[in-house]
Amino acid sequence: MAQKRKSCSENENHYDLVYNFDQSAPPTSSINVAVNHLRPVDAGEILSRYEIVEKLGEGGFSAVFEGIRLKDGLKVALKFALKTDAMEYISIPGHPAPLPLEVALMMLANKGPSVPQIVQLLEWQDQDGYYIMVLERPSPCEDLFEFLEHQGGVLSEDLARLIMWQVAQAAHMCCRRGVLHRDIKLENLLFNKETLEVKLIDFGCGDLLKTSAYETFWGTEMYCPPEFKKSGKYHGKPATVWSLGVLLFELVCGDPPKNKDLNKIEAGIWSKPGLSKDCCHLIQSCLQRKPKHRIGLGKIILHDWFKAQNCIALLSGKYRATVCGDPPNTNDLDMIDPSLWSKPSLSKVNE
């Protein structure tokens, strides 16, 4: 089984920071060991409202547990995040005290009309040495890394389109709300295979979006834009577009792009047998080494590739309920090609 890719920063010194959550465990110099000892104990009143079930996952700085809200049985995820020396608190409107950056970014990304492609923060609590976030938890759900692996490592172009449309939407909405996520990758996208809905999680490497260049990188190396490796600088939106290109490449090719792919992409001659011209074009538009040659973030969802099927109509849950009145059945989902799926009384939905 392939290993999940851990997020990191340009300066990896914080990996040496010690934070031990389990008071009974001996001090350790390894953050990984610390996370393994992380237990939802002594975490104050927030936990009295949830039953904690099992561990869902963990990254470099946190552990996430499956939870159930006691008052109504709502399925949630509880993320215990380590505080490190590098961690920031910021002030945002409407909150008198500074908030951990990750919490603040999730609040900003969710401010305004709800965006179903961004996971919601239900509540949070600051603790000594760590903070706890209670997040919505789709059910059933797995992250895209796991889903892709269960699918044999590569997706059909139709399913990749539906997923990418939602990821591009999430990325675009984050930026519109002043948030740079900076760690968009398979592991940070939840996928519900019944409804085909995607949700962006893990704002732990993010920052406020600024127009000037960033000079440090937080995120995952494989998705790091080439301009940072070359000049030590990058801008938020083109870097996001690059990460979306890497993600799309992985979904439809099964692996991240190699240098030889990037050379062909730069020359505008990259293609892959079985992939549509539009899909290859979008990959080439996102993965240009020169940021100014990349497609604009807001233009991605308008790309011709997304016109081949009506993503909104094919999605279930909130979207489907509003246009069709009921969730999709298995036949609907099989007919992912828009030429096969239609509903009398609906014109081409939401175009």
Give the 3-state secondary structure of 235-246. Answer: CHHHHHHHHHHH
188 is a contact residue toward Mg ion (CB under 5 A)? yes
- Spacing of C-alpha 123 from chain mean position: 19
Residue whose beta carbon is closest to ligand ATP: 59
Helix/strand/coil for 118: strand
Could you tell me which stretch among 85-93, 136-144, 230-238, 268-276 binds ligand ATP (CB under 6 A)?
A: 136-144
Per partner kind, with CB cut-offs from 5 to 8 A, the member of ligand ATP, Mg ion, none near residue 57 is ligand ATP
Cα angle for residues 187, 231, 181 (degrees, 5° grid): 30
**Residue 206 amino acid letter:** G
Choosing from 72, 126, 183, 255, the catalytic residue is 183
Q: Is 237 in contact with 176 (CB distance < 8 Å)?
A: no
Helix/strand/coil for 272: coil
Could you say which of 20, 110, 117, 188 contacts ligand ATP (CB under 6 A)? 188
Q: Give the shortest CB-154-to-ligand ATP separation in angstroms.
A: 20
Distance CA 230, CA 84 (A): 28
Q: Is 226 in contact with 248 (CB distance < 8 Å)?
A: no
Could you tell me which stretch among 129-137, 160-168, 196-204, 329-337 binds Mg ion (CB under 5 A)?
A: 196-204
Could you say which of 187, 197, 227, 250 contacts ligand ATP (CB under 6 A)? 187
Q: Give the shortest CB-199-to-Mg ion separation in angstroms.
A: 13
- CB within 8 Å of 346: residues ≥ 6 apart: 313, 323, 324
Q: In what order do the strands lie in the sheet with 189-192?
A: 142-143, 189-192, 197-200
Nearer to Mg ion, 134 or 282 (CB): 134
110 is a contact residue toward Mg ion (CB under 5 A)? no
Q: Could you say which residues in the range 167-186 bind ligand ATP, by CB under 6 A?
A: none
Helix/strand/coil for 109: helix
Could you say which of 58, 157, 197, 227 contacts ligand ATP (CB under 6 A)? 58
Per-position DSSP letters for 62-90, written without gaps between them: EEEEEEEETTT--EEEEEEEE--TT--EE
7 is a contact residue toward ligand ATP (CB under 6 A)? yes
Q: Give the shortest CB-70-to-ligand ATP separation in angstroms.
A: 18
56 is a contact residue toward ligand ATP (CB under 6 A)? yes
User: Is 183 one of the annotated active-site residues of the chain?
Assistant: yes
Nearer to ligand ATP, 54 or 351 (CB): 54
Distance CA 69, CA 49 (A): 6
Nearer to ligand ATP, 58 or 157 (CB): 58
Q: Is 13 in contact with 5 (CB distance < 8 Å)?
A: no
202 is a contact residue toward Mg ion (CB under 5 A)? yes
Helix/strand/coil for 208: strand
- 185 in a known ligand binding site: no
Per partner kind, with CB cut-offs from 5 to 8 A, the member of Mg ion, ligand ATP, none near residue 141 is ligand ATP
**Residue 222 amino acid letter:** M
Give the residues lining the site for Mg ion (CB under 5 A). 59, 188, 202
Give the residues lining the site for ligand ATP (CB under 6 A). 7, 56-62, 64, 77, 79, 119, 135, 137, 141, 143, 187-188, 190, 201-202, 204
Annotated binding residues for ATP: 83
Q: Which residues are catalytic?
A: 183
Annotated binding residues: 83
